[in-house]
Structure 1
Amino acid sequence: MFDSLDLDAKLTRALADMGYKKPTGIQQEAIPVALEGRDVLAQAPTGTGKTAAFLLPAAQYLLDYPRRDPGSARVIILTPTRELALQVYEQAKAITAHTDLTCGVITGGINYGTDKETLSKSLDILVATPGRLFEHIEKESFSCQEIEVLILDEADRMLDMGFANIVHQISAEARWRKQSMLFSATLEGSGINTFARDILKDPVPVSASATRKEQGKIIQYVHLADDYEHKLALLIHLLNEPEQRTIVFVKTRERLATLKQSLQSHDIPVCWLQGEMPQDKRIAALARFKSGEVPILLATDVAARGIDVEKITHVINFDLPRTADVYVHRIGRTGRAGNKGTAISLVEAHDMVVLGKIERYISQPLKRRVIDGLRPKHKEAKVGKKVKKKKASTSAKKPAKKAKQRRSQKD
C-alpha cells in the first residue's frame, strides 16, 4: 500500500481519489530512493506507473521544504512531446489536488502569451518540452536558479528527437539543483550513458521488474501480406471487429495520408496524428479518440509519442518500425493497468529482417495467423540462410586442416 512509502496524507488521499490502490513495481523501487534525496536512473516503459514514481517524491520534497517567498519553479519535468507534457501536468495537478502546490505547463505550439501568464505565477512544479523551455531561458523570461529538482521523462525519446544538446544546456543552467531523476524505457546506448554521466550524481539504478509480466498481457501476432492491397484488406477486416479502440501505426506522413484516404473510401471513420500538425488539430483529434467518438487513430511514431489513452484494445502495425525498441514502445499503448491487449503486425516480405530483429529483442517468436479468404499467396521469406552456409563451409574445412597436420607429423 502507498501508506508504507512515508508519503504525506494529502498525497495518499489524492491517490485514493485517482483510484490507485497499491504502488506498481517502479513506484516501489524509485519512490523510497528518491525520498532519500538520491539521484535516480530508472528504466520504466510507458504503462508502468512511472509518472507517479517521480511526481510523488517531488511533491513530497516540496511539502517537506515549503518555499518562504513566491518565485520561479522549484521542480522541472522535461518531456519529449506536447501530449506527454500535458498528461504529466494533469497528473501533477491530480496528485497535488489537496495541497497548496501550484503546477504549470509550457510546450511548443502554444501561444507565447499563455506561457507568459504561466511563468508569471509563483510555480512549484513546471512541466515543459525542452525546446520551448530553452527559448524562455535564452530570452531571460525564465530563470533556472530556483530549480531544486530536475526530472527527465522518456529520456530515450528526447535523444531520438534531437534534444540532447538542449537538455544538457538546461541541466547546466540548473546546476544549483539538489536532485535529478532520469526515466527511460531503455538504458541501452551511449546517449543514455552520456545523459546519466553528465546529469546525474552517483545515481541509484532502478527498473520496472514487472514490465515483462505486464507485456505478457499483450497478445502479439503477425499476418503475412503479399503487397499493399493485401495488407489493406487485412486491416479493413481487423478494424471491422466490434468494440475496439485501436491505434494503427504507419511509417511516414505520406503513408498516413494514403491509408487515411483508403480507409475513408471504405466508410471506416478515422482520426489521425502526424508530425508538424497544428496543436489545436492534434488536441481535437486526441479528444475524439479518447471520447470514443472515433475509435481508430492513425499515427506516425513521432506524432504518437506520449499518447496515454485508457483502454486501448488493439495496436496494429500497418508498417513495422525501423527498430525493435520502437516496436516495444508501440505495443505498450495497449494491455495497460491490468487490461488485456492485442498487438498485430502486418508483414510483407521486405519486413522479414526487421521482424527477426524484433523477435530476438523480445526473446519470443511472434505467432503467424491467417484469415480465411485473405490467406497470403506467397510463402514466408526465410532470412539468414547465407549465414548458415558460411558456417557449414567453415566447419567443413576443419577436417581437411587436421588431415594436413596428421600428414606433416608422419613426414
Structure 2
Amino acid sequence: MTITRFSELELDERLLTALSEKGYLRPTAIQATAIPPAMDGRDVLGSAPTGTGKTAAFLLPVLQHLLDFPRKKSGPPRVLILTPTRELAMQVAEQARELAAHTSLDIATITGGVAYMNHAEVFSENQDLVVATTGRLLQYIREENFDCRAVETLILDEADRMLDMGFSQDIETISAETRWRNQTLLFSATLEGDAIRDFAERILNDPVEVEADPSRRERKKIHQWYYRADDLKHKTALLIHLLQQPDVQKSVIFVRKRERVHELATWLREANIASCHLEGEMVQAKRNEAIKRMLDGRVNVLIATDVAARGLDILDITHVFNFDMPITADTYLHRIGRTGRAGRKGTAISLVEAHDHLLLGKVSRYLNEPLKARVIDSLRPITKPPSEKNNGKPSKKVLAKRAEEKLKNKPKVKAKLRQRDVKNVGKRRKPAAKAHSD
C-alpha cells in the first residue's frame, strides 16, 4: 500500500496538527517507507540524502511511541538521538519540539561548547527525548551523570558522517551502554562501502532497509553550472559579481579551509557585501548567532567550511556557491542540498580553477551528467581550459619535463662519513704480546 498522506499513518491527532501547522500533508519517500516499520518497533537502516525529510522520518515514530506508552512517573530519557555536529543536534531538537508542540513531552540537547551547568536540567528533571553529540554525552556517561538504562530507542542520524569523523568507537560504547533498548534506527546519506554496512550489522538487529534516492528528482530542482577562473583574484571577482545579481537573495558559500573563511569575509566586506560565517573552531554561542542572523534575514550570505554541509537547514537558500571545489562528489551533493529544499527551486554554482577540473570531472561522472560552463562577458577567463582528453591532467610531456626539472634542481648531497670510518685513523696499535706461562 502506497502512503500518500500523513493521516494514513495512524499518528496521534496532536502530531497531525503540528504537521499541518508546518504545512506538511504528504509524506516524502523516506517518510512513507521508514515510518510504518519504525512504528511497528522494527530496527531500521535508512539511506536518505539531506533534504529528503529524514528527520521527521525518525522523529514521528518515536514521538508516537512516547505518546502511546506514557510513563507513570518522571525519569531519564527514553529516546536518545546521536548526531555528528552541534548544529544538527540543535536543529533536530528544534524540529522535535515543533512536532511535539501540542504534547507535554520534554526534549533536551547535550552538546559540546555549552557550559556544564547548562545541562543540569537533563540530569535532574524528567526528559523524554535527548539529542546529543557523542563526545559530551560520553563524558556525562563516564561521570555517571547520564542514565542510559531507560533508553528504549537509539537513533543514529548521519551515521556515515559520524564514521568519517572518527566517532565509530564512541558510538559503539554508547550502544553498549544502552543495551537494554528495544529499537535502533540508523540513517545515513549513503549505504555504499563496507564500513557503514559492517557498522550497521554490529549495531542493528534484523533491520528493515529503506532507501529514498531522490537524487535525480531533487537535482532537477537545482540548476547547476560552473564558471572558469584564472586564479584566486579572478575567482573572487566572479563571486562578488554573482552575489550582486538580484536573483541571489540568500546564499551559502563553501570553502575548504578555515583560513579561507576569514579571507573571503574580508574580501566581501571590502566589496560592501555583509556576511556571517561558520567554521569548526567557533564557540557554540557564535555558531548559533551566525545561523540566527541568516534565519532572521539580517545577513544574506553565509561562508562555511564543510562542517556546515550537513544538517544546516535554512529553507530559503536560493544559491550555493562552491568557491573551493569539494574533494568528493558526495560532499558536492551535500553542499548543493542546502538549496532547492521543500519543493523550491535552487541554483548551485561552482567556481573552477585549472587544478579543479579533475574534481569537476569526478562530480559530472557521479551525477551522470556534465556541468555546463557559463561566462560573464566582463570577466572572461584569459587562460585556456584544460583539454577534454586529459580532463585537467597534465600531459606525459609536461610530467616528463617536471621530473627532469626536479632532478636537475635536486641539491647534491655530500656522501656521509660514518663516525667509525673517521675515528682512530692514526697508526694502528700492535696487539700486546701474550704472556707465556712456564
State TM-score, norm by structure 2: 0.86
Ranges in structure 2 where 5+ consecutive residues have no aligned partner: 397-438
Greater RCO between the two (CA within 8 Å, min separation 6)? Answer: 1
Pair 1:380 & 2:363 matched: no
Q: Which residue does the alignment assign to 1:146?
A: 150
Please point out which of 48, 59, 62 is paired with 1:58.
62
Ranges in structure 1 where 5+ consecutive residues have no aligned partner: 391-411
Give, in angstroms, the shift of residue 138 of structure 1.
Answer: 0.7
- Identical-pair percentage: 57
Q: Which residue does the alignment assign to 1:370?
A: 375
Pair 1:293 & 2:311 matched: no
Matches within 5 A, 1:9-408: 9-243=13-247, 244-382=249-387, 385=390
**One-letter code aligned to 1:56:** L
Q: Distance in 1 between matches of 2:250 and 2:114?
A: 28
- What is the RMSD computed on CA atoms of the aligned residues? 1.6
**One-letter code aligned to 2:297:** G
**One-letter code aligned to 1:73:** P
Q: Distance in 1 between matches of 2:237 and 2:42?
A: 53
- Asked whether the equivalents of residues 85 and 129 of structure 1 are also in contact (C-alpha less than 8 Å), the reply is yes
Q: Distance in 1 between matches of 2:212 and 2:96?
A: 21
Q: Distance in 2 between matches of 1:278 and 1:383?
A: 45
Q: Which residue does the alignment assign to 2:436?
A: none
**One-letter code aligned to 1:290:** L
State TM-score, norm by structure 1: 0.92
Give, in angstroms, the shift of residue 191 of structure 1.
Answer: 2.3
Give, in angstroms, the shift of residue 70 of structure 1.
Answer: 1.7
Give, in angstroms, the shift of residue 304 of structure 1.
Answer: 4.5
- Residues 359-395 of structure 1 deviation map (CA, whole Å, 9 limit, x = unaligned): 11111110111111111112221365499x99xxxxx
Q: Distance in 2 between matches of 1:91 and 1:279?
A: 19
- Residues 252-305 of structure 1 deviation map (CA, whole Å, 9 limit, x = unaligned): 011112111111111111111111101111111111111111100001001453
- Asked whether the equivalents of residues 49 and 189 of structure 2 are also in contact (C-alpha less than 8 Å), the reply is yes
- Residues 307-341 of structure 1 deviation map (CA, whole Å, 9 limit, x = unaligned): 11011000000000111100000000000101000
Q: Distance in 2 between matches of 1:197 and 1:313?
A: 39
Q: Which has the higher helix share?
A: 1
Q: Which residue does the alignment assign to 1:397?
A: none
3-state SS in 2 of match to 1:99: coil
The aligned length equals 389
Give, in angstroms, the shift of residue 345 of structure 1.
Answer: 0.3
3-state SS in 1 of match to 2:377: coil
Per mean C-alpha deviation after superposition, the further-off stretch among 373-382 and 340-349 is 373-382
- Asked whether the equivalents of residues 316 and 339 of structure 2 are also in contact (C-alpha less than 8 Å), the reply is yes
Q: Distance in 2 between matches of 1:306 and 1:286?
A: 12
Structure number with bigger Rg: 2
- Residues 202-242 of structure 1 deviation map (CA, whole Å, 9 limit, x = unaligned): 11111124342122100000101111011011001100012
3-state SS in 1 of match to 2:77: coil
3-state SS in 2 of match to 1:283: helix
**One-letter code aligned to 1:254:** E
Give, in angstroms, the shift of residue 194 of structure 1.
Answer: 2.3
- Asked whether the equivalents of residues 251 and 301 of structure 1 are also in contact (C-alpha less than 8 Å), the reply is yes
- Asked whether the equivalents of residues 48 and 211 of structure 1 are also in contact (C-alpha less than 8 Å), the reply is no
- Asked whether the equivalents of residues 353 and 383 of structure 1 are also in contact (C-alpha less than 8 Å), the reply is no
Q: Distance in 1 between matches of 2:110 and 2:309?
A: 19
Give, in angstroms, the shift of residue 174 of structure 1.
Answer: 0.7
- Asked whether the equivalents of residues 246 and 312 of structure 1 are also in contact (C-alpha less than 8 Å), the reply is yes
Give, in angstroms, the shift of residue 13 of structure 1.
Answer: 1.3
Give, in angstroms, the shift of residue 351 of structure 1.
Answer: 0.7
Q: Distance in 1 between matches of 2:112 and 2:260?
A: 25
- Asked whether the equivalents of residues 49 and 213 of structure 2 are also in contact (C-alpha less than 8 Å), the reply is no
